[in-house]
Amino acid sequence: MEPFRQLTAVAVPLDRANVDTDQIIPKQFLKSVLRSGLGRGLFFDWRYLPDGSPNPEFALNRPEYRGAGILLARENFGCGSSREHAPWALKDFGIRALIAPSFADIFFNNCLQNGMLPICLPGDEVDSLFQAVSAAPGAQIEIDLERQQVGPAGGGRKFHFELDGYQKQCLLDGLDAIALTLQHADEIASYESSRAGH
């Protein structure tokens, strides 16, 4: 997996709470047997009008946010279905990090598994980032994972964010979780034999 250390990118604001994974990537795109190419289905029902043309109102279609690498969102982002197609679609679209007051558990895990960084900040700090981005659409946000800091690029207030030490290391090193687990193959085998009959 590609390591994640720092990121400076345009942040696109999605000002809605409880955005579910059905919305992030609707069901018709789950029929793929591949991980790639899902970006075109990202937020499909919001991004495109029923006639198939792009919805000019939707933030991800606005020219000032073109090339966004960070998604700014509200509470409980990624709730609902466990579909990993949601982070795959975001990643395919170019999003590497997300900032919200809270994320649904499975979505949060799924992001980390794909080298994407979900950042939880208190509501007022997320608010101030929403304000900064709407005051200057297309403005960049910078993230330093090593120092666990995030804020408007090129000066301004930086916010500290929490991330579990293990998850941080996995992102920084781009670790393959399965290879890591297989280092403990002996322990797994002895656990299995100790519980034989269960």
Partner 1 sequence: MGKTLFDKIWEQHRVREEAGRPALLYIDLHLVHEVTSPQAFEALRAAGRRVRRPERTYATMDHNVPTDPRPFQIQDPNSARQIEVLAANCREFGITLYDLDSPHQGIVHVIGPELGLTQPGMTIVCGDSHTATHGALGALAFGIGTSEVEHVLATQCLWQRRPKTMQIRVEGHLPEGVSAKDLILYIIGQIGVGGATGCVIEYAGTAVRALSMEERMTVCNMSIEAGGRAGMIAPDGATYAWLKGRPKAPQGAAFDRAVADWESLAGDPDAEFDRQVAFRAEQIAPQVSWGTNPGMVTSITGTVPNPSEYHDPVARRSAELALEYMGLRPGTPLRGLAIDRVFIGSCTNSRLSDLETAARYAAGRKVAAGVRAMVVPGSRQVKAEAEKRGLDKIFRAAGFEWRESGCSMCLGMNPDILQPGERCASTSNRNFEGRQGRLGRTHLVSPAMAAAAAIAGHFVDVREWPH
Task: Restricting to residues 2-31, name those near partner 1 by CB under 8 A.
Answer: 15-18, 20, 22-23, 26-28, 30-31
Q: Which two tokens stand for residue 42?
A: 């990202």
CA distance 46 to 55: 7
DSSP class of 88: H
Cβ-in-10-Å burial (0-12, 13-18, 19+) of 29 comes to buried
Binding mask of the shown chain, residues 81 to 110, with x at each position contacting partner 1 by CB under 8 A: xxxx--x--------------x-xxx--xx
Give me the sheet containing 117-120, strands edge to edge.
117-120, 97-100, 70-72, 6-13, 140-144, 149-152, 159-160
Q: Does 172 bind partner 1 (CB under 8 A)?
A: no
Q: Does 35 bind partner 1 (CB under 8 A)?
A: yes
Applying CB under 8 A, among 67, 154, 165, 196 the residue interacting with partner 1 is 165
Q: Would you tell me which residues interact with partner 1 (CB under 8 A)? A: 15-18, 20, 22-23, 26-28, 30-35, 45, 50, 74-76, 79-84, 87, 102, 104-106, 109-110, 113-114, 164-166, 177-178, 180-182, 184-185, 187-188, 191-192, 195, 198
